[in-house]
Amino acid sequence: MNRIKTLCSSFPLYSEELGIDITKPSGRFKWFLASILFGARISEKIAMKTYRTLEKYGVLSPEKILDAGWDELVRILDEGGYVRYDFSTATKLLNIMKELKEKYSSLEELHAQSGNTEELKSKLMEFKGIGEVTSQIFLRELRGVWKIDVPVSNKAAEMAERMNIDLEEFEGEELTRVEDALVKLYLRDGKKGKRRDTLAPFKKIYTLDPEI
């Protein structure tokens, strides 16, 4: 197995880890919701646990979120460990869902009304609380599902350079898988300043020296 295959098999897509099928409209909304959680300055472990807590209570659609209301959302966020941003995230989720339904009726319609990737990204970022980071997290996993051209994140680009990987060799879903894997490797074991020995579990894929 070559290094890229090892990298991608070691770090699957975030949506796959969460059991989300992004080929379906309902799955794309679930990934949108998860991306909002990932977009805060909070660990991916807490974001994933919080998404699963929302899943546990069946709060995985705009209607269910709005029906839950602020108090219930705060309770669910707290249970998931999202305590640092519980109040603000509950408010943000309610505002986004209300605006999404009023302006577009659904996430799929928002996409349908977007002529290109930039317009799609712009529409997403019109929602208060969705910025560059959240839109990038959401859109990158939809390469190969929607016809969009999403720039690679800075974290992935940095890791690719350090690992001597040419990202221009990849496109569509394959690029998404490589990028997601590089981001995960960066977050978990490749941050600038970390000791080399922390990368030992990923020795086969994190090539800094020719002999590795």
Could you tell me if 27 and 123 lie in one domain?
yes
pLDDT at position 188, please? 80
Could you tell me if 130 and 157 lie in one domain?
no
Could you tell me if 112 and 189 lie in one domain?
no
Could you tell me if 67 and 38 lie in one domain?
yes
Could you tell me if 112 and 163 lie in one domain?
no
pLDDT at position 86, please? 94
- Domain with residue 125: its CATH number is 1.10.340.30
pLDDT at position 1, please? 46
For 197, the domain range is 3-12+152-202
Could you tell me if 126 and 47 lie in one domain?
yes
Could you tell me if 38 and 68 lie in one domain?
yes
**Residue 210 belongs to some domain of the structure:** no
151: left (phi over 0), alpha (psi -120 to 50) or beta: beta
Residues with Cβ within 8 Å of 90's Cβ and at least 6 positions away in sequence, in order, are 70, 73, 74, 77
b/e burial code for range 44-61 (CB count within 10 A of at least 16 → b): eebbbebbebbbeeebbe
pLDDT at position 144, please? 87
**Residue 146 belongs to some domain of the structure:** no
**Residue 71 belongs to some domain of the structure:** yes
Domain count, the chain: 2
Report the DSSP beta bridge partners of residue 137: none
**Residue 34 belongs to some domain of the structure:** yes
**Residue 192 belongs to some domain of the structure:** yes
- In a 13 Å sphere around the CA of 122, the CA atoms on its Cβ side amount to 7
Closest to 11 in 3D by CA, of 189, 207, 161, 208: 189
pLDDT digits (tens), the chain, 212 positions: 488 999 999 999 999 999 999 999 999 999 999 999 999 989 999 999 999 999 999 999 999 999 999 999 999 999 999 998 999 999 999 999 999 999 999 999 999 999 999 999 999 999 999 999 999 999 999 998 999 999 999 999 999 998 899 999 999 999 999 999 999 998 887 565 454 444 455 555 554 333 32
pLDDT at position 196, please? 46
Could you tell me if 29 and 120 lie in one domain?
yes
pLDDT at position 2, please? 84
**Residue 207 belongs to some domain of the structure:** no
**Residue 212 belongs to some domain of the structure:** no
Please answer whether residues 141 and 119 qualify as being in contact, where contact means their C-beta atoms are separated by less than 8 angstroms: no
**Residue 187 belongs to some domain of the structure:** yes
Q: Token pair of 114, please?
A: 């977007």
Could you tell me if 121 and 34 lie in one domain?
yes
